Amino acid sequence: MLKASKILKQYVNSELGSTAPWQTEAEVNVKFDGGFFIRGFADRVDKFENGEIRIVDYKTREYSKEAHERYKRQLTLYMIAVRRGVLGEANCLNFARAYIAYMTPNSLELVEIEPDELNFETEANTIVNKIRTENRWEPQITDKCNMCSYAVLCNINKYEQKSAEEEEEYLFSEDSNIAFLK
């Protein structure tokens, strides 16, 4: 509890804590050319007098280049939503910047994300096309299974006895926690 109160104190004493957000937990649903949607929730959206939009996602950890790179996809989705008028003002040209607020008991560091929208859309289309063309899917057991909310749907116990040869038949993306049959 002491750690949480120190993080809260860092937040309250920061620029973020001293200004009211325009939106919180802003739902984002973006439709892509393949006819599918990707949904997310932006923790905080600020709108400045000059019309600029600032998207902030909170993380209770220290900044690291590796972690920051992993969060890029999430914030890229929100930036795409802004550009398409889903997040921001409809019928307006919205200028936006996206940030991660790394909060620890000792600091709050606001670090900008440089989105890669083209790569995001390409990767999303590739994953969706793999899912759509897959005619057989079985889960791959990993150390993450015991923390997964979808383990019940996978019926993971049915697959626990697979041999190493059988497990090699699957491709697994750690970023998306999706297993694909080769």
Count of domains for the chain: 2
> What was the pLDDT predicted at 144?
79
126 lies in some domain = no
Its domain, for residue 149, covers: 135-181
21 lies in some domain = yes
> What was the pLDDT predicted at 182?
41
Residues 97, 149 share a domain: no
Residues 164, 115 share a domain: no
128 lies in some domain = no
Task: Report the residue count for the chain.
Answer: 182
pLDDT band for 150, please (50, 70, 90 cuts).
confident
Q: Are strands 178-181 and 23-31 parallel, antiparallel or unpaired?
A: unpaired
Residues 14, 94 share a domain: yes
Closest by CA to 102, choosing from 16, 5, 182, 2, is: 16
Closest by CA to 59, choosing from 47, 75, 83, is: 75
Q: Are strands 96-104 and 53-59 parallel, antiparallel or unpaired?
A: parallel
94 lies in some domain = yes
129 lies in some domain = no
Q: State yes or no: pLDDT of 140 exceeds 50.
A: yes
Residues 156, 70 share a domain: no
The string of DSSP codes covering the chain is -HHHHHHHHHHHTSTTTTS--SEEEEEEEEE-TTS-EEEEEEEEEEE-TTS-EEEEEEESS---HHHHHHTHHHHHHHHHHHHTTSSS-TTS---EEEEEEEEETTEEEEEEE---HHHHHHHHHHHHHHHHH-S-------TTGGG-TTHHHHTGGGGTT--HHHHTTEEEETTTTEEEE-
31 lies in some domain = yes
> What was the pLDDT predicted at 95?
83
CATH of the domain at 97: 3.90.320.10
80 lies in some domain = yes
Residues 85, 38 share a domain: yes
Residues 18, 90 share a domain: yes
Residues 156, 78 share a domain: no
Residues 8, 74 share a domain: yes
Residues 171, 102 share a domain: no
Q: Over range 95-102, report the average pLDDT.
A: 93
Residues 139, 116 share a domain: no
